[in-house]
Structure 1
Amino acid sequence: MNRYPEDILKEIIERSNATVFKTESAGAEEINVETDARFGLMEIVDRLCNGMEEEYDFIVLAGVPYHIETRVLSGLRSYGVGTVITLNWRHQQYADFSYRNMTNLEDWKKELKEVLNNLR
């Protein structure tokens, strides 16, 4: 279940008018979405920890491998970065919002569609 449902992710990005920073260093190269900029994952984290987070209402992580995402979220939390959300299929204790662990891809897609349907 390491393949992110691109179609749903693209719709979430489009409806939310999100700024997208993409990084190949964390496996996100598999997600084919339009980006505003490309940075290394740790460069994104560094920028967020040094004041860039004030520019955004939410920081959403998608497609980052679980073990890397855990460390990133822990670091963001340590620096007091605001609301951080993960849309990945495994629970993250350092996120303000995270799904429960899901082993069924269809359950995860259903949850992502619910997020999509609630965006204005």
Structure 2
Amino acid sequence: MKEMIENTDATVYKTEATGTKNVDVEADARYGLMEIVDRLCNELGTSYKYIILAGIPYHIESRVLAGLRSYSVETVVTFNWRHQQYADISFNNLNQKQWKKSLKTIAKQL
């Protein structure tokens, strides 16, 4: 993820969830997940090419994606290693090795 962020002009919102202090990614701001979703829904006048979610537990991510859909967010991408039915772009169900290889390929293409 760090390489992807560095290769793009991404705005990064980071949650204060368990374990995120160990993630070496510089954030533009830190909010709770629902605050991030609320800001995205309230700032839809702002044009985002993509909203990409990463590192969110699958069951919570499903609810977040369904909520973003109801606000007509144009394109939502998830880098979760399991398929997400509410995402526009999502991996098929992958094992960890396939998933890491795919993420590396994406990072190199950016």
TM-score (norm 2): 0.91
- Establish whether residue 40 from structure 1 lines up as the match of residue 70 from structure 2: no
Where 1:88 maps in the other structure, the secondary structure is: coil
CA distance, structure 1, for counterparts of residue 30 and residue 109 of structure 2: 28
Q: Which of the numbers 7, 10, 14 marks the counterpart of 1:22?
A: 14
CA distance, structure 1, for counterparts of residue 13 and residue 62 of structure 2: 18
One-letter code of the match for 1:75?
A: G
Q: Could you list the runs of 5+ residues in structure 1 that have no partner in the other structure?
A: 1-8
One-letter code of the match for 1:88?
A: N
TM-score (norm 1): 0.84
Distance 1:58 1:28, change over 3 A: farther
Check the 8 A contact 2:44/2:73 in 1, yes or no.
Answer: no
Check the 8 A contact 1:84/1:96 in 2, yes or no.
Answer: yes
- Distance apart, 1:105 and its partner CA: 1.4
Q: Percent identity?
A: 61
One-letter code of the match for 1:11?
A: E
Q: Which residue of 1 is the match for residue 101 of structure 2?
A: 110
- Distance apart, 1:17 and its partner CA: 2.2
Where 1:55 maps in the other structure, the secondary structure is: coil
Tell me how large the CA RMSD over aligned residues is: 1.5
Q: Which residue of 1 is the match for residue 54 of structure 2?
A: 62
Q: Could you list the runs of 5+ residues in structure 2 that have no partner in the other structure?
A: none
Q: Spell out, residue by residue over 1:45-95, the C-alpha distance to the aligned partner (whole angstroms, 9 max, x if none).
A: 111111247332110001011011000000000111121100110110000
CA distance, structure 2, for counterparts of residue 97 and residue 53 of structure 1: 22
> Following superposition of structure 1 onto structure 2, how do residues 80-95 of structure 1 map, counting pairs within 5 Å?
80-95=72-87
CA distance, structure 1, for counterparts of residue 82 and residue 38 of structure 2: 24
Where 1:85 maps in the other structure, the secondary structure is: strand
- Deviating beyond 3 angstroms after TM superposition, the runs of 4 or more aligned structure 1 residues are none
Q: How many residues align?
A: 109
